[in-house]
Structure 1
Amino acid sequence: MAEHHLPPDPTDYHHRGGRKGVHADDLSRGRCYSYYYGYGGGGGGGGGRALCFALLVLLLAVGITWLVLYVVYRPSHPNLAVTSAAVLALYNATANTAGGATALAASFQFTLVLRNPSARSAARYDRLAAYAAYRGEPLTPATPMPPLAQDAGTAVEVAPVLGGGVAAPPVPVSPDTAAALAADVAYGVLALRVVVLGRVRFVSGPFHRGWHSMYARCDLLLGVRKAAGNNGAGGGPQQAPLLGDPACNVDM
């Protein structure tokens, strides 16, 4: 008669050196409670979680506060505009240079308006200088300008004389530039670029920002007429109407 063997009792297998498993008795309330504390789930764990939660809330509050202050006090780039212009001198000065180098004598007076669009940030300008350029070549030396202070949401108007006035010093240029300028003056329309260099600093309530380099330029068209003498537009200051709206950009 065949013998029927029952499967071995799991407890025997464990007692004989096998791997200890988890029994139904281990899942009782008492055992789960002991396992939870045995693996660090109790004791000081509640206090640690509360501390981490408090730190997370604090960091979140600081981040939101900084973001709100940044949005409220964030300064905007200044705006530059040219509202009027006058030609004080503009002629070919090649005969006045040594060696016959091509040169132009030019001087202009521009009315510049610097506007601070920031509602809560004051602006401070320093190391300002301006010059006029034609076809990428300077027509006047860089003229220093005084420092400026500007409240939030205000505008400052300045009228620097670029080039030294009627007795403008000659500035070397290429022959092509001199020929093109003579042609434009004869036509009555002169394309110029006014460049303003310097640095700006913003003061936003309790916040003081560092200095930022500023490069501003305005491209404009001037209506000029050829006057007697000086081989070009000369014979004294002339008001030069602005043809169209000058295009101005400010980089920081």
Structure 2
Amino acid sequence: MAENPEEQKHTSPSPEHHDPEEQKHQHCHSPEHRGSEEHNQTSHSPEQEQNQTSHSPEHLKHAHGMIDTEKHPGGCAAHRYGHKHRRRAFCAFLFVFLALAGITALIVWLVYRPHKPGFTVVAAAVYGINTSSPPFISATIQFTVVARNPNHRVSILYDHLSTFVSYRNQAITPPVMLPPFFHERESTVAISPVIGGAAVPASVEVANGLAMDEGYGVVGLRLVLMGKLRWKAGGIWTGHSGLYVRCELLVGLKKGFVGQVPLLGSPHSPCNVHIG
């Protein structure tokens, strides 16, 4: 019995009914799926084969720039594997590089880590203190300070140094600039700046307290050094770091006395040093 031409038209695959997503993923189908598709294609009628010839998967692959996985076996899987392998290799390289850099930095820090210097006041001399003209005070004092560098491999350069003397947290001398100096490894340097000379403003309480302490013969003073330093390890210089040195002192001083004065309390006690 002859088939109805209308039924053949409805049963034959039309190019308009091809799913674009299926066409895009044809190049990544499994061999089993391709085998089932080939079996379906061989069971088509001559008219269907004619339509498939004009719109065959090969024709669609060339139209959409797809790659034939039969000619390039394992193309999709190989591409994914290669990308994952490169990413893992890069991560492994980065991890090893960071680990080696960290170990190197730790070794350098352990070998060359600098210890802060020590400062000690070993002598003091007073050449004049005037509290009779409030609200101003004038004082001229000289301190001998010994700085010690405890580092075995690191030298120190001090610059932008200034110093002043305070009483009850108020300056009684103007700041004096000190020349820069170089501190060799495991060495000591002595500096003896003369501080003061000019009058500075001070409160009445500070002027009266200083006069009373002179009457007792014991005056508590604070010597402050400020500036910057740089570390030198071999041929490498670091950047500048701030330096703040505070020395708390008790001196034996009678009103009107001029000259060397004794250091009381705990003489030659180390000063407080802050670097940052």
Compute the TM-score of the two structures, normalised by the length of structure 2.
0.65
The letter for the 2-side match of 1:239 is V
Question: Residue 107 of structure 2: SS of its match in structure 1?
Answer: helix
Question: Residue 115 of structure 1: SS of its match in structure 2?
Answer: strand
Residues of 1 paired with 2:206 and 2:84: CA distance? 80
The match for 1:13 is none
Residues of 2 paired with 1:173 and 1:180: CA distance? 11
Identify which of 91, 106, 112 aligns with 1:73: 112
**CA offsets 1:128-180 (integer angstroms, 9 cap, x no match):** 111111011111111111101011222211011111xxxx3332211111111
**More helix as a share of residues:** 2
Point out the structure with max Rg over C-alpha.
2
Map 1:5-44 onto structure 2 (within 5 A).
38=77
The match for 2:259 is 237
The match for 2:121 is 82
Identify which of 168, 191, 195 aligns with 2:220: 191
Tell whether the 8 Å contact from 1:93 to 1:170 is kept in structure 2 after alignment. no
Residues of 2 paired with 1:47 and 1:213: CA distance? 47
Question: Residue 158 of structure 2: SS of its match in structure 1?
Answer: strand
Map 1:214-225 onto structure 2 (within 5 A).
214-225=243-254
Q: Give aligned pairs, total.
A: 204
Residues of 1 paired with 2:88 and 2:135: CA distance? 80
Alpha-carbon offset, residue 58 of structure 1: 2.8
Residues of 2 paired with 1:215 and 1:117: CA distance? 18
In the alignment, does 2:135 pair up with 1:112?
Answer: no
**Residues 41 and 157 of structure 1: CA distance in aligned 2, closer, same or farther (over 3 Å):** same
Question: Residue 89 of structure 1: SS of its match in structure 2?
Answer: strand
The letter for the 1-side match of 2:185 is A
Greater Cα offset, 48-57 or 194-203: 48-57
Alpha-carbon offset, residue 187 of structure 1: 0.8
In the alignment, does 2:76 pair up with 1:53?
Answer: no
Tell whether the 8 Å contact from 2:232 to 2:238 is kept in structure 1 after alignment. yes
In the alignment, does 2:230 pair up with 1:201?
Answer: yes
Tell whether the 8 Å contact from 2:146 to 2:190 is kept in structure 1 after alignment. yes
The letter for the 2-side match of 1:250 is V
**Residues 46 and 241 of structure 1: CA distance in aligned 2, closer, same or farther (over 3 Å):** closer
**CA offsets 1:18-61 (integer angstroms, 9 cap, x no match):** xxxxxxxxxxxxxxxx99x9387856766764554344223211
The letter for the 1-side match of 2:273 is V
Q: Which runs of 5+ in 2 are unaligned?
A: 1-72
Greater Cα offset, 118-127 or 188-197: 118-127
In the alignment, does 2:171 pair up with 1:138?
Answer: yes
Alpha-carbon offset, residue 195 of structure 1: 0.4
Aligned-pair RMSD on alpha carbons? 2.7
**Residues 51 and 178 of structure 1: CA distance in aligned 2, closer, same or farther (over 3 Å):** closer
Identify which of 165, 174, 180 aligns with 2:209: 180
The match for 1:122 is 155
Question: Residue 142 of structure 2: SS of its match in structure 1?
Answer: strand
Residues of 1 paired with 2:261 and 2:244: CA distance? 27
**Residues 47 and 141 of structure 1: CA distance in aligned 2, closer, same or farther (over 3 Å):** closer
Tell whether the 8 Å contact from 1:223 to 1:243 is kept in structure 2 after alignment. no
